[in-house]
Chain A
Amino acid sequence: MKKKLICIACPIGCHLEVDVENNYAVTGNQCKRGVVYGKKELINPTRIVTSTVIIKNGIYNRLPVKTDGEIPKSMIFDVMKQLNEVVVTSPIKMGKVIIENVCDTGINIVASRSM
């Protein structure tokens, strides 16, 4: 069985075909990341999550944050719930860990700008 996917590993968006029976062989990719994505998307889909947390004393009310790696797609809303409970105080440096090992994913939430 061949599955058609669009690679989201970069904005080019290659049209992939993944041959599930043939060890998830990928065609249609323009680079190696497409091979990794095609296989993983069918076995264990993951995503980077970006959002904001409340910041006190900053020039704005929100600090943008992101996961420093991909988390399972099914965990996205659990992570969002955690983020809604966080309040940080300026100054914060870009890259600072805001939540360690969020929802036991082994991934941290980090600040995506200084404020």
Chain B
Amino acid sequence: MKMYDVIIIGGGSAGLAAALEINKFRKSKILLLERDAELGGILLQCIHNGFGLKVFKEELTGPEYAERFIDELHEKGIEYKLNSMVIKLHPDKRVEYANIEEGFVTIQAKAVILTMGCYERSAGAIGLPGNRPSGVMTAGAAQKYLNIDGYLVGKNVFILGSGDIGLIMARRMILEGANVLGVAEILPFSGGLKRNIVQCLDDYDIPLYLSHTVTEIKGESKISSVVISKVKDFVPIPGTEIEFEVDALLLSVGLIPENGLSEACGIDMDSRTKGPIVNESYQTNIDGIFACGNVLHVHDLVDFVTEESRRAGQAVVKYLENQLEKSDNHIEMISKDGVSYIVPQQVNVNNINDKLELFLRVQKEYRDVNLVVRSNDTIIKTIRKKHMAPAEMEQIKLKVEDFDSVIGSISISVEERQ
């Protein structure tokens, strides 16, 4: 059986950044496994700009951002395999993959990094009513058809869900000559970035129907129209129906971390992030298995994925050098009022160099509030926030000294200003 120091599963922005970071700090035998025909992951189909402002201090398109990392990977001579799908991961860090040339192969690693990204929720996952005629698909699938294959999936399009992919696709389809009749969002606020509402919908006068959802899909073999209704507490209100004649309905109703491999391996999952529970070193409950990027929690900015994956790469270097302290004695991070999740979920202070970066999301839109970090009743840090929304990930930095007075757990909550 072939031996590696590190096997990385998934060659998107997370896998690329983790591989490069490990290589930078430690001469290691690294293998990156990617099931697609190219490295780069979801970035390759995101041809719009808006990537790289933090990492490169310039605004790039998805493919440009990916190519910079792929070029560096080539330059550094890091080994990777394409068209290679990982089918099983074992807790002892054996990895089984398959490709056409080699067939089924099992290899062994000292450390494994999970960077499988996420997938889009589909019609089945949200219990969409009505028929399932053709013409109903996820926004990401439509994006791939259009940007990679050059195939426009419809001329008259409606979009359910105001996630970023849906917003980006609304503009993209208009530019390619389709009519986008509207976007319906069941919540009273959009799930996408504000800049995307402005430059994808407002710029092209595409109506956004907040507190609306699709209540009927008509058509036999091919979709002919959709009916939307206003909702109150998620229940459609009779008499508010609007019908649109369409030949395509795109779904942009959320992303879910791709954790089939992780769950089958026995990795503990967080029911809120739908990703593995990790500690300050991005290590899961299984020794030597790490996770970062969208497989850990859904990110809206690739720059955050890159930074997180670099930190995970540094932790893996420490792990390989036996410098990560093993201990069950960790601090639990607890999401309190208004906070929906915090990553990492557990912290061993002895493994923090000088500071710890926490990511969290809030449950609804807030204005002029404080994010308060506490241990028991002691306030450790208060951060003033002018504006927060579920679509925007919040980042908090805690210094090692901040943990001096911490016992057992840390909680974070959204609080009114006094």
Name A's B-contacting residues (CB within 8 A). Answer: 6-8, 10-13, 15, 47-52, 54, 59-62, 64, 66, 73, 76-77, 80, 94, 112-114
Contact = CB atoms under 8 A, between A and B. Distances in A.
A64 B198 contact: no
Nearest to A67: B49
Interface of B: 37-38, 44, 47-50, 53, 59-61, 63-64, 66-67, 146-150, 175-176, 193-195, 197-199, 203, 300-301, 386-387, 392
Contacts of A61: 148-150
B203 A60 contact: no
A66 B61 contact: yes
A11 B150 contact: no
B193 A62 contact: no
Contacts of A8: 195, 198-199
A19 B364 CA distance: 30
Contacts of A112: 47, 60-61, 63-64
B302 to A, nearest CB: 10
A44 B123 CA distance: 41
Contact of B198 (A6, A52, A66): A6
A8 B50 CA distance: 10
A113 B64 contact: yes
Given A50-B49, A80-B175, A94 B148 contact: no
B59 A52 contact: no
Contacts of B48: 50
A52 B67 contact: no
Nearest to A114: B67
A54 B150 CA distance: 8
29 contacts: A6-B198, A7-B195, A8-B199, A11-B53, A12-B392, A13-B193, A13-B194, A13-B195, A15-B386, A15-B387, A47-B199, A48-B49, A48-B59, A50-B48, A51-B176, A52-B47, A52-B150, A54-B150, A62-B150, A64-B61, A64-B63, A64-B147, A66-B47, A73-B203, A94-B67, A112-B61, A112-B63, A113-B44, A113-B63
A5 B304 CA distance: 25
Contacts of A59: 37-38
B147 A52 contact: yes
Nearest to B151: A61
Given A11-B301, A47-B203, 8 more contacts: A7-B195, A8-B199, A10-B50, A13-B193, A13-B392, A47-B199, A61-B148, A113-B67
A60 B148 contact: yes
Contacts of A51: 47, 175-176
Nearest to A55: B150
B61 A50 contact: yes
Nearest to A95: B64
Contacts of A13: 193-195, 198, 392
A62 B47 CA distance: 11
A50 B47 CA distance: 7
A41 to B, nearest CB: 9
A114 B14 CA distance: 21
Contacts of B301: 11
Contacts of B386: 15
Contacts of A64: 47, 61, 63, 147
A6 B37 contact: no
A51 B389 CA distance: 30
Contacts of B203: 47, 73
Nearest to B50: A11
A68 to B, nearest CB: 11
Nearest to B66: A113
Nearest to A80: B175
Nearest to B45: A64
Nearest to A5: B198
